[in-house]
Amino acid sequence: MGAGIAAVLSLYLRDDGYNLVRTTTYGQPRVTNAVGASKLAGLPITRVVNVDDFVSMVPTFPFEHFGEEVILHPGADFVYLTHQDANAISIGEIWRESHGLSIANHASELYVARLAQKLKGAQAVPYLARLT
């Protein structure tokens, strides 16, 4: 729940007048519905998730994500999605293509390892490249 709490606290900090430069969360689950997501949409939040991290995909409808998304693949590959692109991906597509979803992909050690793999050179790939 740390990433989810960080996202919600960003809203409180902004509403209290703090100038937020950027909030980056790792493995953040969905924490709000469409109304809440619209309030959070303007926050400078980047969600970093491991490909097939089960925790970052729940809970499902009516909960929604907000902010930019970076999906970490093994090796140098990653996917960057704008807020609009991340919201355009339907839950149905995610669940149809989710044969590899696992709680093990939520481990902080895996996040650290995947980030370390990108230190020597990261390569942005299209979202659909994850299916190949």
**Which tens digit of pLDDT belongs to each residue from 13-29?**
999 999 999 999 999 99
Whether the pLDDT of residue 91 is over 60: the answer is no
pLDDT for residue 129 = 61
> Which residue shows structure tokens 């650290």?
112
Per residue in 95-117, pLDDT (tens digit) is 545 667 889 999 999 999 999 99
Is 92 within a domain? yes
pLDDT: which is higher, 90 or 53: 53
Is 132 within a domain? no
Enter the pTM of the model: 0.87
Range of the structural domain that residue 16 is part of? 1-126
Q: Which two tokens stand for residue 67?
A: 């902010």
Is 131 within a domain? no
CATH number for 110: 3.40.50.1820
Is 84 within a domain? yes
Q: Quote the CA–CA distance of 103 and 36 in Å, as a whole number.
A: 26
Closest CA to 10 of 44, 53, 50: 44
